[in-house]
Amino acid sequence: MSIHLGDEAPNFTADTTEGEIDFHEWKKDSWAMLFSHPADFTPVCTTELGRTAQMKDEFAKRNTKVLALSVDDVASHEGWAPDIGEVGGTELNFPIIADPDKKVAELYDMIHPGEGDTSTVRSVFIIDPANKVRLTLTYPKSVGRNFDELLRVVGALQLTDSAPVATPADWTQGEKVIVSPGMSTEDAKERFGADKVEEVKPYLRWTDDPS
């Protein structure tokens, strides 16, 4: 199946390195980042999961749980975990789904046709507390993901949910944001403060990060 932005994230039950989970129940009122990797004991994946372990607290500050997946089994994940800790400098501190029957991978369309095998590509799904898919990304197997960018996206989504603003190119937390095109300049000045709104073009108005 093809998953689009705004769709409800499909629910599933699966074995993980932290026991069996029901995905919707596990994430409950939190945001979640569900991401797949091609296989255990592979170099790019080891660096990616190590980086995620380093950043778990930063995701937690944003009410976001992280959950990885590959088509290997729990025993393989557990055998690989020490390597992740050694390479990344932080012990594995989040669950990895075991998906040897590819049930979850197929549910989320994580198998890349034409790659010559049945392992998952580097898919990412950011899912909000209402279980709606808010972002999807797919990287080829040879390219590691930028987890600072994924954290940035979570922050941007949460900010734009909380206020009538959008984030510009390369935005990071604390920088100026764009007033929503659906809001007039006068309404923006009333909302954010007359001295806090800068009109560059009628359709491009800056204001301070309201968070």
In whole angstroms, what is the distance from residue 17 CA to residue 205 CA? 47
User: Minimal CA–CA distance to 108: which of 58, 33, 49?
Assistant: 33
**Angle CA 67–2–59, to nearest 5:** 25
Radius of gyration of the chain (CA): 19
Report the 10 Å Cβ neighbour count for 49: 29
In whole angstroms, what is the distance from residue 141 CA to residue 63 CA? 28
Beta strand 31-36 with 122-127 is antiparallel
Length of the chain: 211
In whole angstroms, what is the distance from residue 12 CA to residue 34 CA? 12
198 classed as catalytic: no
Helix (H) or strand (E) holding 153: helix 147-162
The one catalytic residue in 9, 34, 45, 151 is 45
Active site residues: 45
